[in-house]
Structure 1
Amino acid sequence: MSADGTARPTLLLVHGAWHGSWCWEKLTPVLNAEGWTTRTVDLPSAGSGARVRDDARVVLQALARIDGPVVVVAHSYGGVPVTQAVADAANVSHLVYLAAYQLDIGESLLSHHGAPTPADPGGFQPVPPHPVPLFYADAPAADAKAAAGRLVPQSTRSFSDMLTAAGWHTVPSTYVVCEQDQALPPDDQERLALRSGSVHRIASGHSPFLSMPGEFAGLLAGIASGSAG
């Protein structure tokens, strides 16, 4: 329960490209110890040829299994299917975009970067060749190496599919800028964050749930409880 006696929202954590629900394993125990209920999903585009709509369906199914309000936390690519899904969800009270793609209708991850849609969008985007400095530069070396070893190829279609809905137009949102990010440049994050109602910044690389789970959990708790905007 929150300080005013109302039920706390559930936190639904949605991972980014190449990752899986395993990436939250350092964060969820911290949140759970503070009384927060957490849920995670595995997006099918990581490891299969699934599309944004398939990922969005998984998010919607997870939301349907949760009673009460939900704060959805989307990391990186996860912002794309979350944005699509939340437009059709009734129980989402807040969106948190963590170094994430807060796209609008008619945009795709590739179009955001000015890249053309591939002539043959089938197939996979391989795991980046140097994932540790890209994703986990400030994480403990052993944790970073272990995480890099769990990455899988990502569906190319998930990067080229355009959104047909954008839930942040009707659901309040907060953007968390990772100021030392090597994967999605902070300047790009700042531009995306203009679409959110509030912005917070954390002195981390792309994956603060791995590099500073305690500090990030505190920030998330503040956002979800309304005390951090």
Structure 2
Amino acid sequence: MTAPGALLVHGLWHGAWCWDAVRTALAARGIPAAAVELPLTDLATDVQATRDALDRFGRPAVLVGHSYGGAVITAAGDHPLVHELVYLAAFQLDEGESVSRTRPGRDLPDTRLSEAMRASGSEIGLDPELGPALLYSDAAPDVAAAAAARLRPVHRLLFRGVPEVIAWRAVPSTYVVCAEDRVVHPDLQRAMASRATCTVEWPCGHSPVLTRPDAVADLVAARIQELATT
């Protein structure tokens, strides 16, 4: 059988580039990995881009989603090559939910993310100071600055996109709660994590793909190793 690997799905305002350090760490562990470049125009288009990337990947996969990427993997995770889902501070949505409206979040405190968002026509960007401060609260200044320089606006439709498939009902899932997150409130993460097969919690901010790529790679490698031996 073709060796399993990891397909990585980024969140809002980012691109496949944000997984570079994780991909390097996975390569050092002998794990094949690829990152999807999402159009960030609407959820259905992003889901299709991920399904197309799985077709190209062509091997059994652990599908990893960060933040908004969780909504994408929830819908794309019924692809026949997907054997496990990993959510990193991500939206593990249920039927009828979107990233702007989740049932568990109704009675939970908000973060300052809405304060940081800047609308321009159909696009939503981020305040150049508050946005990165929330996204990369525990990152080294050079890492945060380099990432912030590559952020891009996204279409407002993404915030109300509802997944047509809820793959975690049939596919095992692992949820990583980022306990110091300033973007997706940790209490909301814990509520969504109750839907996962298993949960771990890390003392970090919203972007472990940049701040602790080795920890992300270790977790993904462990899930792939279990997949390879079953």
Q: TM-score range by the shorter chain?
A: 0.7 to 0.9
Match of 1:62 in 2: 53
Distance 1:81 1:123 in 2: 20
Percent of aligned pairs with the same amino acid:
39
Q: What amino acid is aligned across from residue 72 of structure 1 in structure 2?
A: L
2:69 is paired with a residue whose SS is helix
Alpha-carbon offset, residue 52 of structure 1: 0.5
Match of 2:126 in 1: 127
Alignment of 1:210-225 (within 5 A): 210-225=210-225
Matched, 1:12 2:2: no
Alpha-carbon offset, residue 76 of structure 1: 0.2
Distance 1:15 1:157 in 2: 17
Matched residues, number = 211
Q: Which runs of 5+ in 2 are unaligned?
A: 111-120
Q: Which runs of 5+ in 1 are unaligned?
A: 1-5, 116-121
Alpha-carbon offset, residue 204 of structure 1: 1.3
More helix by share: 2
Alpha-carbon offset, residue 134 of structure 1: 0.7
Match of 1:82 in 2: 73
What whole-Å deviation, never above 9, does each CA across 1:90-118 have from its counterpart, x for those lacking one?
11000000000000121111122559xxx
After the TM superposition, which of the residue ranges 59-68 and 214-223 deviates more from structure 2? 214-223
- The 4+ residue runs of structure 1 with deviation greater than 3 A are none
TM-score, structure 2 length as denominator?
Answer: 0.86
Distance 1:144 1:221 in 2: 26
Answer yes or no: is the 8 Å Cα contact 1:139–1:212 preserved in 2.
no
Alpha-carbon offset, residue 137 of structure 1: 1.3
What whole-Å deviation, never above 9, does each CA across 1:65-102 have from its counterpart, x for those lacking one?
12221000000001112111123x11100000000000
Alpha-carbon offset, residue 7 of structure 1: 5.5
Answer yes or no: is the 8 Å Cα contact 2:173–2:196 preserved in 1.
yes
The change in CA–CA distance for 1:181 and 1:8 in structure 2 (over 3 A counts) is farther
Match of 1:163 in 2: 163
Q: What amino acid is aligned across from residue 184 of structure 1 in structure 2?
A: V
Q: What amino acid is aligned across from residue 157 of structure 1 in structure 2?
A: L
Match of 2:89 in 1: 99
1:102 is paired with a residue whose SS is coil
Answer yes or no: is the 8 Å Cα contact 2:62–2:220 preserved in 1.
no
Distance 2:48 2:95 in 1: 17
Match of 2:36 in 1: 41
What whole-Å deviation, never above 9, does each CA across 1:19-73 have from its counterpart, x for those lacking one?
000101121111101101011111101xxxx210000000000111122210000
Answer yes or no: is the 8 Å Cα contact 1:69–1:91 preserved in 2.
yes
What whole-Å deviation, never above 9, does each CA across 1:160-208 have from its counterpart, x for those lacking one?
1222211111111110111111111111100000110000111211111
